[in-house]
Amino acid sequence: MPDPGSPLARLGVSIQHLLPQRALTALAHRISTARAGWIRRPLIAGFRRLYEVDLDEAVVPASGFDSFDSFFTRALKPDARPPASVGTGLLCPCDGTLSQAGPIFEEPSGGRIVQAKGRDYSLAELLADEKAAEAFTGGRFATVYLAPYDYHRVHVPCDATLRTEIRVPGRLFSVSDATSRHIDRLFARNERMVALFDTAHGPMAVVMVAAMLVAGIETVWDAGLRLRPGRDVARIDFDPTVRLSAGAELGRFHWGSTVIVVTGRDAPDWVDGLVPGRRMRLGEALTGPRAPGRAEN
């Protein structure tokens, strides 16, 4: 892989502007959901060799998947990701690599989130809801990138009540480290699903960001009926609300992408050591006591 800051990486990012993103994604979906053995078997076998996927922790054995997509969105055994003991704190919602984490910066134009060194974007634009964004004033965020070899289901960080789902149409740029360094407002430009929750700590948002070749975002409350948004932003306010327990499945990516967790001012602080590049595991503690003498954000 080229250095994310190299000229070669910048060239790769530039080419993405010219690619037929939706056509390529639609083709990937057709191939990944094909049930013919001559398609799915070599795809699964090749992927396992390339990424050394551990299927010992999967519920279904290697021979039990009826498509590459079912392999990619595989469920894990109940004991594969035991949750950390954080009391009423927050857990990491997925496997992946931490891209960024920290405070939501407040400016006259509203809250902003760091995307990469020298780049940030508007929280209101990410959520596609200015009023919802105001509720996170003084809060924090954590961005986790899911590589192709990661487990691709997303879980609830804490006991939460789903208040609103917002489906936002957009581009389908890659969400790799190189792309996040070179494309402004990447996560606020890509297609995404925004889930707004009420919790004991105040408001929480979990944003699932789509990318090139991601065939869709499925949520447990949609039962797979709406993988993609339409041409316009679509909002559903739930009445009655949907109650989800900490660690319960929230949704899944059909191919990989990025998850962003946003919390309000009254939520617990992030644990120390949440630095870019850190490998994360589903159920790992996101919140906890800070080291003695550490300054508050």
Neighbouring CB atoms inside 10 A of 225's CB total 8
155 is catalytic: yes
Q: How far apart are CA 130 and CA 111, in angstroms?
A: 10
120 is catalytic: no
3-state secondary structure (DSSP) of residue 19 = coil
Q: How far apart are CA 191 and CA 170, in angstroms?
A: 4
Here the tokens at position 52 are 């050394």
Choice among 70, 99, 174, 257 that is catalytic: 257
Choice among 152, 155, 201, 254 that is catalytic: 155
Here the tokens at position 253 are 């990516």
Q: Is residue 121 within 8 Å of residue 188, measured between CB atoms?
A: yes
H helices of 57-174, in order, are: 68-72, 123-127, 130-134
Exposed / middle / buried, residue 140 (Cβ in 10 Å: 0-12, 13-18, 19+): buried
H helices of the chain, in order, are: 7-16, 21-32, 37-51, 68-72, 123-127, 130-134, 177-182, 186-189
- Residue 124 C-alpha from the chain's centroid: 17
Helix axes 21-32, 37-51, angle to 10 degrees: 110
257 is catalytic: yes
Choice among 32, 69, 95, 201 that is catalytic: 95
143, 130, 266, 252: which is closest to 198 by C-alpha?
266
Exposed / middle / buried, residue 12 (Cβ in 10 Å: 0-12, 13-18, 19+): middle
Give catalytic residues, as residue numbers.
Answer: 95, 155, 257
